[in-house]
Homo-oligomer: A and B are copies of this chain.
C-alpha cells in the first residue's frame, strides 16, 4: 500500500470557487485531520458553513492558520499580501504556506517578505476553473485530470514540496514543477490573453451604434455567446491577474496584435490562401487538446441538443 497523504490540520483562506473546491477535494481524499476554512465575507462564510465542506469555519484568517501544517490561500492575487500579514503571527514552525493564485511571481513577491522564515512558502496554481464564483460554484472533481503547477522557490524544502505534491495528486491533479516566471508566460498565452480578448470583444460589441445591443444578444449563437461566458468571470480576480502579470501579458498581447494585423491585411487584399492555411493549422491543436484529455470532443461544447 502506498502511504496516503495526511496533514493534521489544513487551513484554507478564501471560500470562493477555488477555495471551496479545494476543501471539497481534500475532504473527498480524506487528507486532513481537521480542515478549517476562513473567508472575510460573512455571507460567503455562512454559505460555506451551510454546505459544510470543512470541520470549522471562521472569519479570522489568523485563527484558521494557527497550528496548521498547511495553509492554502485562495483569494484574488491582489489580496495575497494582506492575507499573508494576517496569518504570519500564528504560523507554527515548519508550516507550509501555499496558494492557488493565477499568477505566480507576484504572489511569491507578495508573500515572501511577510511570512516568518520558519515556514515554507511554496506557491501553486491548479489550472482548472469555471466562470462562476463563490462557495456554491465549487465541486470536488474540479481538479480531476487537470494540471496543478507548483513553482517552488530556490532552495525549497524537499519534504514540504513532496507533501504538497502528494496532496494535489490526492485531489485528482497531475503536478508539474516550473519556475514562477515561466508559469506566468505560459498562463499569459493559455489563459490571461484569451480572457482579455474575450472581455474586449464583448466590450466592443456593447458599444456599437450601427448594431444594437439587442441584436448582439439575439444573434449571439453565431459564436459571440462563447466569448460572453469567458467574459462573465470575476472582475476582481481578473483585474488582479492583469495588474500582477503585466509583462508577460503585454508581451503575448503584442504578438497577438501583430498576428491579427497580418490577418487583417490578408482579408483586405483577398489573400484566401493565407486565411485557409491558418484556419487549417489551428484544427490540429484542437485535436491534440482532445487527445490529451483536456477537453471533450462533443460538438458545441456538448451543449444539449435533442435529435
- A interface residues (Cβ-Cβ under 8 A, vs B): 102, 127-132, 137, 139-142, 144, 146-147, 149, 176, 182, 185-187, 189-208, 210-211, 213, 215-236, 238-240, 242-243, 246, 249-250, 252-253, 255-257, 259-261, 263-264, 267-268, 270, 272, 275-276, 278-283, 285-289, 292, 294-296, 299-307
- The 15 listed contacts between A and B (C-beta, < 8 Å) are A140-B307, A142-B305, A185-B211, A186-B211, A190-B224, A192-B223, A193-B201, A200-B278, A204-B252, A206-B282, A217-B285, A229-B295, A235-B280, A242-B267, A296-B303
Rounded to whole angstroms, the CA-CA distance of A120 and B240 in the bound complex is 57
Contact with A292, one of B217, B229, B260 (Cβ below 8 angstroms): B217
List 17 additional A-B contacts (Cβ < 8 Å) besides A191-B223, A217-B288, A232-B286. Answer: A102-B222, A141-B305, A189-B216, A190-B211, A197-B201, A199-B278, A199-B279, A220-B289, A231-B285, A231-B286, A232-B287, A233-B279, A239-B272, A242-B267, A257-B257, A257-B260, A301-B302
Given contacts A191-B222, A301-B301, contact A228 B279 (CB under 8 A): no
Given contacts A190-B219, A283-B235, contact A289 B197 (CB under 8 A): no
